[in-house]
Amino acid sequence: MAPETADLLLAYDWPYDGPFLGLLEQHLSAISQSLLSVNPQRLAETSLRLRQGDLTARAFLDRAADTDPAFEPLEGWAAEHVPVLLNPPADRRRVWKKSNLHWKFIRAGVHTPYTLMVPAFSRQPILDVPPDISPLGKPFAIKPDLGGGGWGVKLGARSWEQVEQARREMPNDDLLLQELIEPETLEGRRAWFRVFYACGEVVACWWDDRTRLFIAPVTPNDRQRLGLDGLWSVIEVAAGIARLQLFSTEMARRADGCWVVVDYVNDPVDLRILGHAREGMPPEAAEKIAAAIAAFVARSA
């Protein structure tokens, strides 16, 4: 008997992914493609079926192994048996460290905040010569090199003593010290954006860096009227650097017209949707992302 085949096998461990997965399933079903989503409750049963050959998949997307080691064997199985991997494991792990991307963006001609890198306290407790932090301005940001979702980020630092305090609070993390970018104002909005890249589709949204809330999608009229082509050109460069099929980035435009990438490559992407979560993306953006993933899976199959 031939094994059951899922067109897209998707692993997740965050219950807030539920609404987006329902949307993705609708888009896949509309083009005769199937989704098999695996959460922690279904992991053991699904893994057994895969090992026994009762189940297989044509494409795989992991949204769990980074936070739940129980999913790592599934990720390993997919790397060996699934022909199409969205966000392959090696590329995902490479982008998790901000320092891996910082110089790549600069060499590609993309502006980034002025940044200093500070070694982890556990690796180098005493710095013989602390770096000159004056070019960062005041205040500046302190960020762990590894991680996302705002974890460990401190935005109001003003002194080297605060850096040392952060080193002790996160002793195993290398730290990035970054200048804070002040965007220009466009028709009453801060020129700050969250931009999603989904299998070749670019979905740009206005985003408020102060409230951390989405405002609205960037419309074609916005793009033309306000000269926002940079959102598309910069994220295309980011896609070439990241080599991922699904990620997001955070960009701002300064008053001098310069585009600055503030948060380089986010994986896994926060797929919460407004209406289900206060911090979620606009539903129109979620629709475009789901449709792009479904079309990619269909093309790959």
> Same domain for 9 and 81?
yes
Q: Is residue 289 situated within a structural domain?
A: no
> Same domain for 78 and 137?
no
> Same domain for 76 and 9?
yes
> Same domain for 203 and 233?
yes
pLDDT score at 29: 98
| Banded model confidence at residue 55, pLDDT cuts 50, 70, 90 | very high
> Same domain for 169 and 186?
no
Tens of pLDDT, residue by residue over 245-282, are 999 999 999 999 999 999 999 999 999 999 999 999 99
> Same domain for 137 and 192?
no
Tens of pLDDT, residue by residue over 68-92, are 999 999 999 999 999 999 999 999 9
Q: Is residue 292 situated within a structural domain?
A: no
- If you write DSSP's letter for every residue of 33-92 in order, what string do you get? --EEEE-TTTHHHHHHHHHHTSEEEEEEEEESTTT-GGGHHHHHHHHHH-SEEES-HHHH
For residue 71, the one-letter residue type is F
Q: How many domains does the chain have?
A: 3
> Same domain for 24 and 71?
yes
- pLDDT over 90 percentage in the chain: 91
Q: Is the pLDDT of residue 137 over 80?
A: yes
Using the 3D structure, point to which of 126, 149, 179 is the last residue of a domain. Answer: 179
Q: Is the pLDDT of residue 148 over 70?
A: no
CATH at residue 118:
3.30.1490.20
Q: Mean pLDDT over residues 171-177, rounded?
A: 94
Q: Is residue 103 situated within a structural domain?
A: no
> Same domain for 203 and 173?
no
Q: Is residue 79 situated within a structural domain?
A: yes
Q: Mean pLDDT over residues 2-30, rounded?
A: 96
Q: Mean pLDDT over residues 205-215, rounded?
A: 95
pLDDT score at 262: 94
> Same domain for 165 and 231?
no
Burial class, 93, CB count within 10 angstroms (exposed 0-12 / middle 13-18 / buried 19+): middle
Stated as kind and residue range, the H or E segment containing 158 is none
| Count of CB atoms situated within 10 Å of the CB of 196 | 24
CA nearest 47: which of 58, 36, 63? 36
Q: Is the pLDDT of residue 232 over 80?
A: yes
Q: Rounded to an integer, what distance in angstroms lies between the CA atom of residue 289 and that of residue 266?
A: 15
Helix axes 283-300, 18-30, angle to 10 degrees: 50
Tell me the whole-structure pTM to 2 decimals.
0.93
| Banded model confidence at residue 151, pLDDT cuts 50, 70, 90 | confident
Beta bridge partners of 194: 205, 250
pLDDT, mean over the chain: 95
Q: Is 213 helix (H, G, I), strand (E, B) or coil?
A: strand
Q: Is residue 294 situated within a structural domain?
A: no
User: Domain range holding 19?
Assistant: 4-87
> Same domain for 175 and 210?
no
> Same domain for 74 and 119?
no
Q: Is residue 279 situated within a structural domain?
A: no
Using the 3D structure, point to which of 126, 146, 179 is the last residue of a domain. Answer: 179
Q: Is 245 helix (H, G, I), strand (E, B) or coil?
A: coil
Q: Is residue 153 situated within a structural domain?
A: yes
Q: Is residue 209 situated within a structural domain?
A: yes
pLDDT score at 52: 94
Using the 3D structure, point to which of 179, 196, 214 is the last residue of a domain. Answer: 179
Tens of pLDDT, residue by residue over 85-122, are 999 999 999 999 899 899 999 999 999 999 999 999 99
> Same domain for 216 and 170?
no
Q: Mean pLDDT over residues 32-42, rounded?
A: 97
CATH at residue 27:
3.40.50
| Banded model confidence at residue 153, pLDDT cuts 50, 70, 90 | confident
